[in-house]
Amino acid sequence: MTVLKRNPAIIWRVERQREAEVKQALAAGDDPGERGTVLLIDSGTMHQLNLVGGTIWQLIDGTRTAADIVADLAVEYDVSQDELIGDVEAFTSDLLQRGWLLHG
């Protein structure tokens, strides 16, 4: 399995304050909604990734395979890898299709 990396043409940043607020809301059992914690621009258009998508995005650093990302995410959110595999695969496939991710 190849590693995944972010397309270097995609400019992005993490919104630390919002990320913290969303995590706090989740910890308190509240619904944080779809607040974006990672902002990125592709061809001049801005997009937002929610907390889980943003976490996956940050894990895709050119050293991890999809399986590595699932393993790290399982630790981060304290859930089984089986629960995550499908979602991570769908998310990374979508981003590969958009050209935001590349195979390393």
Partner 1 sequence: MALDLLDTPLRATWDLHDGRSGMPSPLAAQVAQRLTDAQVFYLTLDLHPLLHADVVDLVRDLSAAGCQVEVCTGSSADELARLPELPETVPVLLDVAPFCLADGLDFVGLGKIMDDFRAMGRIPVFSLVPNRDNIGLLGALFAFSQRAGIARFKLPNLRINDTFRQTCQPFMVTPSDLDRLRLQVSDAAAFRSGLQLDVHDLFLWEILFPDGGTARSEYGGCQAANSLAHVDLQATVHPCNSWPHPLGHLAVASFDVIWSSPDRLAIRQNVAMQPAGCCNCRDYAICFGGCRGLARELPTIDGRDPMCAGRR
Q: Given the rule CB under 8 A, which residues bind partner 1? A: 11, 13, 15-18, 34-36, 39, 41, 44, 46, 48
Radius of gyration, CA atoms only, the chain:
14
Closer residue to partner 1 (CB): 41 or 67: 41
How does DSSP classify residue 62? E
Closer residue to partner 1 (CB): 17 or 97: 17
Instruction: Compute CA distances 88 → 9, 21, 52, 61, 83, whole Å.
Output: 22, 23, 9, 15, 10
Separation between Cα atoms, residue 28 and residue 22, nearest integer Å:
10
Closer residue to partner 1 (CB): 2 or 16: 16
Closer residue to partner 1 (CB): 48 or 65: 48
Separation between Cα atoms, residue 104 and residue 102, nearest integer Å:
6
CA atoms within 13 Å, Cβ hemisphere of 73: 27
- Shortest distance (Å) from residue 35 CB to partner 1: 6
